[in-house]
Amino acid sequence: MIFIEDKHELKEELAEWRHARDHVAIVPTMGNLHPGHVSLVDVAKEHAERVVVTVFVNPTQFGEGEDFETYPRTFDKDTRRLKTVAADVLFAPSVETVYPFGIESATAVTVPGLTENFCGSFRPGHFDGVTTVVARLFALVRPDVAVFGQKDYQQQLVIRRMVEDLNLPVTIITAATIREDDGLAMSSRNVYLSDDEREKAPALYQALADVERQLRDGVGDFDALERQASNELERAGFLPEYVAVRRAADLGPAEEACRELVVLAAANLGQARLIDNVLVKL
């Protein structure tokens, strides 16, 4: 695996791959890698001969009072982990490389509509930061394929919309959520959980799985299911932000005729903000 910080060195490496007619996949991350990230690399290797993993803690997707300064940075451990899965390049650009004219003067990419509800409501400007940095990483790497995790369900929909709207030549792959043995979705922010909170945390997935079971049993009162799940989370010690049953394709309102739904939620537990979702095909 090659470690690259400079965009010109990256360009030279990419040119050699293109000359060999290799396909290139990108796995964008903010570091603090866990087995869920490793699974994304494995999926990327199924779709391309070469894989670039980016590690960049993007300042523009953190809102005021969020954890940009304290976000766990574990670069040495990340490097060792990526070597074990045989990624081709670890690209760790500086802020100056990604935003050459500075953050305040940076050209922004905004996807309206999809970014205005759910996590977009509770983290204003977050998705603008995500689409802006992903567009920049795509421009630097010029990948054929990009792999994102299902855990960030709204995010991958937003990125798909951006790619389609801008006619970017990138195929977006969504990889399944990787979970701990007790069901908790793996996340870099799980390190914020205390031991007691970690024992409670699987209740988020359990609440969503319960909604999924009822949907499969034919329950069609979506509002009631959402309230029920939210109440379950409160009893478990969470502070829910939202629990929603929506169309999987675009997060539009669910209807009984919908055959593909997503149940998604965000909730705070101590210092950790946890998100999760389950897909339901009826």
Closest among 230, 177, 181, 237 to 208, alpha carbons compared: 230
Among the options 8, 19, 34, 37, which is catalytic?
Answer: 37
Q: How many helices (H) and strands (E) does the chain have?
A: 10, 9
Distance from C-alpha of 253 to C-alpha of 166, rounded to nearest angstrom = 26
Contact indicator for 51, 22 with CB cutoff of 8 Å: no
Q: Match 């929506």 to its residue by tokens.
A: 246
**Cα distance between the two ends of the chain:** 43
Annotated catalytic, 23?
no
56 Cα distance to chain centroid: 14
Sorted by sequence, the CB contacts under 8 Å of residue 249 that are 6+ apart come out as 260
Distance from C-alpha of 120 to C-alpha of 156, rounded to nearest angstrom = 13
CA distances from 216 to 209, 245, 259 (A): 11, 13, 10
Catalytic residues: 37
